[in-house]
A and B are shown apart, each in its own frame.
Chain A
């Protein structure tokens, strides 16, 4: 099992550009999450999903969108990139809502 995979590993965006961060898990987990991690700030939940077709906002959803068409995939979309979105983004999955979360390796995003 690959676990949780994320692509790309690193990306530089110009202000106003858009991009999609990909996340795939092969553990058949219903729950998937997107976090951003800024230095000294821990992880902040952006969006989460409790199953295919169901998503909900986390603590910091502004500027992002998600979709969940399959159990395996949970892409995160940035429509109009802003410097404040410079961060490391982690995708995670779990079998229950408050259960062990398995994290991907992260995507480092720089918006200039």
Chain B
């Protein structure tokens, strides 16, 4: 059974700080996706990484797929209150989700 473990589960930081969220598995994934979910809404796709070692940037967000395609990370530079939300990684044919990282950025 494929599992995705995210860490940390909760993160509370001040505006302007940097942070990294990790998504790890013992299984190989052909691709991994990162979603962001705001309270009362469904998740929205941020990015899909498909190649081992791949790095993708979305403004202040940097996503990396591990060389062995078993892990991924999300790095946010100079976090802003608007980054607050639940970040989920997902992968596999029927999309297995990690348990999520709840990020709170305080002004």
Contacts and interface: CB of A to CB of B under 8 A. Distances in A.
A51 interface: no
A101 interface: yes
The number of chain B residues touching the other chain, given as a range, is 20 to 34
B45 A101 contact: yes
- Chain B contact surface mostly: loop
B42 A45 contact: no
Nearest to B6: A42
Interface residues of A, number: 22
B42 A105 contact: yes
B98 A42 contact: yes
Given A40-B9, A100-B33, A45 B95 contact: yes
Interface in B28-66: 30-31, 33, 40-45, 48
Contacts of A48: 94
Given A97-B94, A98-B93, A41 B41 contact: no
Interface of A: 4, 33, 35, 40-45, 48, 58-59, 90, 92, 97-98, 100-101, 103-106
